[in-house]
């Protein structure tokens, strides 16, 4: 039965629609707004010169609306002094409230997020389904879960939730709904088995430097199942996650094979990447090699750092882009269907001028609203530079040409190429609500970089914010299909992506010259489907699960109530 479109599910319109003339797509242009934002954050690795392994992998960041004002705020992770380093009272992660007009206020202390952990990765999700996004940070040492109180403050509920997990050197983290019950679960990645008592260095170019990751034993990762009562049970062993040790870094949870269940992809440094396939019975099967995502096209287990999941070629399947080490091409795992992938990075043009730097943060986002997702990659060195080498690198921007290929336009993107840093995390979101996705880069031992997207505003767009009722309250795991004429795009709501970061929880769709959306279809993580039709463009729309007349023909029953 054909779906009956409805518009009453469009419950909120956050932005005014602007009459936009139709132009051909212009260039992608960024302007460095850092100095004007009031953001005085400075990341630290807390190093003492002893070259602890933790310093190499710090840190990610998050963009999310913590106070519900419709503006996306920033949470910038940092290390703190490690053993042997002098104390630094300013060191630590910082929360910046977006107060509009490109001004950000440091609300870390007022919000109760002035933790002193060595923060490496972050995921945001509404674990208690109260409508307010909560924050989990994956640290070197005990991890933390902060519950959003809904009044601009957070409470550390780590102990009550049972998700601290001790001494590990953490990496990425993701909220996900493994069984479609509407209660968020939590995947926590670990890097190698580094501790102070396992510390060592390596000789690099004849000098003591950070140890190579393969000098340390691999570590297994953790999976926690949400109980729905504010606690999580560690199901790592029972779910089959603990059986696989690696050197985890960035991670993303997505539906790899279109079976409606959320799988887990994890980058591993110098080891085969993992794809934990959700078997639907609470267990996961590691299947990366068979799926074609364990390594690159050369069969090389790359030094994978970050990963994003998105449909780059609008074929309705979610692809993966992975950022590896220098002298390695980015990896673009093109989804073939049936859970199979093929690395097509070279064919897609991702090899061009993207191998010289170590690559970290990554995002598949439409930066020019032409309906085709572009790729941004942050870069930065790990080891001490030798004479003639450099530590700081500008980001790399690949513009999607819409024909399966990308063009490296890094040097034609305004201030982008001037923003060199020893970058790690990257977050991409529309910070000023103008319909263009902006960038925030976290630089190791340096200030953050905020880049405003000032590309010509010729194309149309729509942002989609989900409100689950029986599915996850923040829509995590939902798949959104936007149909505008002959342009059909899909995206999923991810919690945790890129390099140990979190962004894009309100999926953004460029629409090109299409000035109406025929329909938006949401397949919630529990399996139900909502369809809204005839949606206006150039705004953020909120779709509430099951609101108004909905056509769920063809969908499965909801999962556990």
Residues binding other proteins (CB under 8 A) = 202-206, 212-214, 270, 289-290, 292, 295-303, 324-329, 336, 340, 342, 344, 346-349, 351-356, 383, 386-389, 405
The CA–CA distances, whole Å, from 188 to 91, 216, 499, 556 equal 24, 19, 14, 29
Min dist CB 268 to other proteins, Å, is 12
Min dist CB 353 to other proteins, Å, is 5
Min dist CB 311 to other proteins, Å, is 19
Q: What angle do CA 246, 252, 256 make, to 5 degrees?
A: 100
Query: Would you say 404 or 456 has its CB closer to other proteins?
Result: 404
The residue among 28, 32, 72 whose CA lies nearest residue 369 is: 28
Q: Cα 138 to the chain's mean position, in Å?
A: 14
Q: What angle do CA 506, 507, 513 make, to 5 degrees?
A: 125
Q: On the CB side of 202, how many CA atoms lie within 13 Å of its CA? A: 13
- Gap between the Cα atoms of 347 and 325, Å rounded: 19
Query: Would you say 359 or 539 has its CB closer to other proteins?
Result: 359
Min dist CB 210 to other proteins, Å, is 9
Looking only at the bridges linking them, the beta strands covering 319-323 and 306-310 are antiparallel
Query: Would you say 48 or 202 has its CB closer to other proteins?
Result: 202
Q: Residue 104, SS3?
A: strand
Min dist CB 203 to other proteins, Å, is 5
Min dist CB 383 to other proteins, Å, is 6
Min dist CB 211 to other proteins, Å, is 9
Q: What angle do CA 397, 421, 63 make, to 5 degrees?
A: 70
- Gap between the Cα atoms of 376 and 454, Å rounded: 16
Min dist CB 418 to other proteins, Å, is 18
Min dist CB 217 to other proteins, Å, is 12
Query: Would you say 102 or 325 has its CB closer to other proteins?
Result: 325
Sequence-separated (6 or more) residues with CB below 8 Å from residue 215:
200, 202
Question: From edge to edge, which strands make up the β-sheet containing 284-286?
Answer: 248-254, 263-268, 274-278, 284-286
Query: Would you say 258 or 351 has its CB closer to other proteins?
Result: 351
Tokens 């590309």 map to which residue? Answer: 455
Query: Would you say 287 or 500 has its CB closer to other proteins?
Result: 287
In eight-state DSSP terms, residue 183 is: -
Query: Would you say 102 or 383 has its CB closer to other proteins?
Result: 383
* H helical segments located in 265-400: 288-291
Query: Would you say 319 or 515 has its CB closer to other proteins?
Result: 319
What are 294's two structure tokens? 């364990």
Sequence-separated (6 or more) residues with CB below 8 Å from residue 272:
246, 288, 289, 294, 295, 301
CB 38 within 8 A of CB 103: yes
Query: Would you say 140 or 272 has its CB closer to other proteins?
Result: 272
Looking only at the bridges linking them, the beta strands covering 539-544 and 460-467 are parallel
Min dist CB 362 to other proteins, Å, is 16
Min dist CB 293 to other proteins, Å, is 11
- Gap between the Cα atoms of 40 and 43, Å rounded: 10
Min dist CB 367 to other proteins, Å, is 21
φ, ψ (nearest 5 deg) of residue 61: -155, 170
Query: Would you say 212 or 539 has its CB closer to other proteins?
Result: 212
Query: Would you say 213 or 380 has its CB closer to other proteins?
Result: 213
* H helical segments located in 16-94: 34-37
Query: Would you say 66 or 393 has its CB closer to other proteins?
Result: 393
- Gap between the Cα atoms of 168 and 171, Å rounded: 9
């Amino acid at each position: 039965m054909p779906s009956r479109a409805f518009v009453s599910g469009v419950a909120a319109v956050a932005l005014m629609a602007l009459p936009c003339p139709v132009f051909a797509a212009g260039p992608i242009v960024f302007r460095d707004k850092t100095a004007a934002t009031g953001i005085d954050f400075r990341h630290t690795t807390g190093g003492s010169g002893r070259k602890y392994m933790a310093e190499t992998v710090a840190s990610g960041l998050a963009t999310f609306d913590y106070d519900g004002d419709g503006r996306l705020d920033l949470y910038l992770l940092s290390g703190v002094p490690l053993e042997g380093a002098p104390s630094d009272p300013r060191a630590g992660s910082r929360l910046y409230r977006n107060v509009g007009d490109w001004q950000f206020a440091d609300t870390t202390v007022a919000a109760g997020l002035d933790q002193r952990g060595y923060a490496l990765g972050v995921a945001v999700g509404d674990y208690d389904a109260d409508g307010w996004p909560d924050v989990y940070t994956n640290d070197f040492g005990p991890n933390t879960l902060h519950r959003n109180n809904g009044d601009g403050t957070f409470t550390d509920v780590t102990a009550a939730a049972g998700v601290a997990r001790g001494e590990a050197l953490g990496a990425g983290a993701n909220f996900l709904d493994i069984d479609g019950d509407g209660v968020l679960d939590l995947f926590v990645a670990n890097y190698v088995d580094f501790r102070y008592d396992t510390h060592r260095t390596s000789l690099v170019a004849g000098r003591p430097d950070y140890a190579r990751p393969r000098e340390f034993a691999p570590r297994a990762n953790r999976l926690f199942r949400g109980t729905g009562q504010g606690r999580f049970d560690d199901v790592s062993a029972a779910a089959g996650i603990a059986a696989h040790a690696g050197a985890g870094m960035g991670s993303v949870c997505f539906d790899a094979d279109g079976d409606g269940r959320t799988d887990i992809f994890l980058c591993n440094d110098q080891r085969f990447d993992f794809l934990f396939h959700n078997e639907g019975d609470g267990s996961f099967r590691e299947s990366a090699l068979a799926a074609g995502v364990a390594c690159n096209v050369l069969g090389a287990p790359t030094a994978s750092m970050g990963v994003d999941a998105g449909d780059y070629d609008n074929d309705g399947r979610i692809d993966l882009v992975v950022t590896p080490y220098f002298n390695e091409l980015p990896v673009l795992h093109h989804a073939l269907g049936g859970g199979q992938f093929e690395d097509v990075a070279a064919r897609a043009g991702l090899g061009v001028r993207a191998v010289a730097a170590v690559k970290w943060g990554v995002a598949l986002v439409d930066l020019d609203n032409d309906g085709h997702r572009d790729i941004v990659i942050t870069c930065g060195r790990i080891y001490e530079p030798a004479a003639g080498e450099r530590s700081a690198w500008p980001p790399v921007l690949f513009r999607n040409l819409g024909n399966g290929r990308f063009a490296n336009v890094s040097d034609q993107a305004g201030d982008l190429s001037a923003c060199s840093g020893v970058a790690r995390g990257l977050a991409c979101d529309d910070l000023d609500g103008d319909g263009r996705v902006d960038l925030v880069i976290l630089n190791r031992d340096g200030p953050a970089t905020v880049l405003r997207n000032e590309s010509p505003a010729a194309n149309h767009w729509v942002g989609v914010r989900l409100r689950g009722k029986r599915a996850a309250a923040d829509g995590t795991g939902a798949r959104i299909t936007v149909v505008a004429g002959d342009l059909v795009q899909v995206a999923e709501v991810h919690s945790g992506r890129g390099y140990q970061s979190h962004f894009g929880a309100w999926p953004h769709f460029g629409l090109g010259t299409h000035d109406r959306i025929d329909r938006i279809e949401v397949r919630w993580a529990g399996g139900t489907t909502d369809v809204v039709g005839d949606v206006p463009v150039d705004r953020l729309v909120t779709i509430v699960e099951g609101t108004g007349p909905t056509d769920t023909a063809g969908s499965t029953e909801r999962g556990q109530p």
